Amino acid sequence: MYKQIIRPLLFLLSPERVHSLLLSALRCYSHLPFVRSWVRRYYKATDKQLVWNQLVFKNRIGLSAGFDKSAEAFNELSDFGFGFIEIGTVTPDSQPGNPKPRIFRLPKADSLISRTGFNNPGLDVVKRRLEYKTDAYLLGVNINKNPGSEKEEVVNDFLWLYAGLYSLADYFTLNWGSIEATLMHTVLETLTDFRNKQKNYRPILLKIPADITTEGMDAVLHCIQAYKLQGVIATGPTMDRSNLSPYTTARLEAIGAGGVSGKGIGKKSIEAVKYLRSHSERGMLIIGAGGVMTPEDAKQMLAAGANLIQIYSSFIYEGPAIVKNMIKAIH
């Protein structure tokens, strides 16, 4: 029903318009307890729990950062079967992001091209919203600096976010490549020093881009070992458009800059997971993300060495039932 009726109607509107309407609908839905109870039962699927480093993931399928950038509907989204949800990217100050249009659907390739930037309402607003989180799932927060911050300001930005949300999040994610490597080392040292002084433990993960080299992954693994980080998310979008063959070069050039997510990532994320698993310590957490569009993709990602899976584009193209279908396939 979703792909035959609902999706064609939604795709008549711009991606951000649909996203805005969806979030509004979820806010209304939050006030309908009987409907929410039915939705939870309908989308529930049994999967083995993953217990890792004091965190208990009720299932292995999560929602990637980027869908709920502003922490507006994380509780409601969890009703659709996700075992964990990651919000953000969150910056210290509110950001408008890049000019619109900035998200483009490529349905013939089951992909998206986006250049949203870090549009979000900032730390203070997100912090107030996260205070309403329930305990039914795990919540991660993807954090980054303000666009104009430099050097010491960058370190302070990350520390402000990490400390400000420390009691509200279950884990944190930093995007590898968002700042230069030397500065990333300083940031990680500062965050781990802060964490070592806390009573509770909040894991830090690094999210790598799809176009990372093997040398880049070696550098990531070195950081994980040096600062006793907990794992990696592989991967984010790619700049490579070679897997978007249903579309002409002229069409893709007309869209302009942006990263490719969805099926257009190809096998980059799976290859990254394979490399990371074969070159890392056994206890390192790997979350496979990027290009996981079908239940079969989910099985392949776990077979490559991922412990958990994050999805985004498949939730848009396949509909909410994809979570339940993936859990059934991997159980």
Q: What is the pLDDT of residues 8-35, one digit of tens each?
A: 999 999 999 999 999 999 999 999 999 9
Structural tokens at position 231: 């794992």
Q: Which residue has the tokens 């030397």?
A: 182
- What pTM does this model have? 0.96
| CA 283 – CA 256 distance, rounded (Å) | 41
Per-residue pLDDT tens for 256-280? 999 999 999 999 999 999 999 999 9
Name the token pair of 124. 């203070």
What topology does CATH give the domain 2-330?
TIM Barrel (3.20.20)
Please give the DSSP secondary-structure letter assigned to residue 120: B
Give which of 192, 280, 184 is closest to 234, Cα–Cα: 280
* Residues labelled catalytic: 178
Chain-centroid distance of CA 161 in Å reads 17
The residue ranges of the chain whose pLDDT is under 50 are none
Supply the pLDDT for residue 9.
Answer: 95
Q: Calculate the CA 250 to chain-centre distance.
A: 30
pLDDT score, position 124? 98
Q: DSSP letter for 142, please.
A: E
Give the separation between CA 149 and CA 134, rounded to whole angstroms: 33
Return the HEC string of 236-265. CCECCCCCCCCCCHHHHHHHCCCEEEEHHH
| pLDDT in the model for residue 283 | 87
Residue 285 near residue 234 (C-beta atoms within 8 A): no
Per DSSP, the three-state class of 139 is strand
